[in-house]
Structure formats: C-alpha cells, structure tokens
Amino acid sequence: GAGVSQSPRYKVAKRGQDVALRCDPISGHVSLFWYQQALGQGPEFLTYFQNEAQLDKSGLPSDRFFAERPEGSVSTLKIQRTQQEDSAVYLCASSWQETQYFGPGTRLLVL
Amino acid sequence: QKEVEQNSGPLSVPEGAIASLNCTYSDRGSQSFFWYRQYSGKSPELIMSIYSNGDKEDGRFTAQLNKASQYVSLLIRDSQPSDSATYLCAVKDDNAGNMLTFGGGTRLMVKP
C-alpha cells in the first residue's frame, strides 16, 4: 500500500516568502506528526494531530509556523515570512498504535 | 528538557563484524524506545522497537534496554556494507504526549 507522501520534495524560498508544505498520511492513520530535521541532526518534534484536532504544538519554534489538518487526513504546515534558520528537512509521520511511519520529507532552503 | 544522547561517530566496522550502537536518555518516564535507520537523503525507517528491560532480537538486529541505567543499544550482527547509514535512537514518554524525542544519530560505516 501507499506510504506517507509529502510535497513538494524540494522548495527554495526567498527570505520573507510564505511556504506551504503538504503531507498525505497513510490511509486510516489517526495520528499525524510534523518534525524538523536540520542537517546532521536528529528530527525534532513540531506538532501532533489526532484526527483533525491539534493536540500538541509545543515544538513549533515561533508564531510564524502554523499547521492544520481540517478533515483529519491531509495536513499542511505553513511557514510565514521564512528566515534562513528555517532551512531544514520537514518530515511528516503518521501512526497507528505505536509505530510512526515517515514520509520522504520536504527539503526547504531559504535564501 | 528531555535529552537523548548518541555518539555521532562515524563508527567504522569491517564487513561481517558486530556493530554496537548506544544511546542514553534523560527522561525516566520514557516507556517506548525505537531505533530508526536513515540513509543519506532519505527518511527514517523503523528497525526495532523495545518496551521492556532485556534483549529483543529480530534477524541480525538485537535491541537491548536497561531502564535503571537509562540506556538502550542496538547490535547489528554480520554487518553488511548496506547497513551503512545513520542510526537514530528515539524515545517516547506515553504520559507526556505521543511525540518521539530523537538523538542526533550515529553514523555507521561498514567497510567491505
């Protein structure tokens, strides 16, 4: 079956530009997570949804970051007024029970 | 702040040898432990999960957990060049949300 998909795979943005990153979870997975992975580091938690409810957004680094999952399936991570420090790979994961399955990630480069 | 520590490596082992990867964690409330493998430019892929003290074996992989020492390890027997990747240790405190807290990863290089 299909895994987690993310789009775009690569995004180059000019500083100050808004970006939107999409995640399509595995069908039927209730839980959805966003992580940020800087080069050479492990992923860091950003936010967590259970169905359409955002239960934890404690990892979002600033109010420029916003995530939604309005129908409990596809999720979008939006970054407003991008900064150079936002350059990273953004990973989406979905889970059923314990295991989190990761998508291929979106590599964001802010110039 | 919850911390998960790993030696960044690289850990270099010859083909056929045992690779031993180690991880320590700070949160005593952690209940679930995972090892992910990440090839360069790819997403993390689950290798093993372990929830209770002791050893858990799956093929060439053995995960070991010692909650008293707050230590989890991954042994890879008969290492192959295809095992060359970064191995990420992740922990979860089921009473503090469902997110995973990752270590920085250990880069493993298996030389033919």
User: Among partner residues B32, B43, B105, which is closest to A42 by beta-carbon distance?
Assistant: B105
The pLDDT tens digits for A23-78 are 999 999 999 999 999 999 999 999 999 999 999 999 999 999 999 999 999 999 99
Burial (Cβ within 10 Å: 0-12, 13-18, ≥19) of residue A16 = exposed
> How many other CB atoms are there within 10 angstroms of residue B49's CB atom?
17
What would the two tokens of residue B13 be?
A: 């082992």
| Model confidence at A1: pLDDT above 70 | no
Q: Does B42 touch chain A (CB under 8 A)?
A: yes
Interface touch B104/A40, C-beta < 8 Å: yes
The pLDDT tens digits for A86-104 are 999 999 999 988 889 999 9
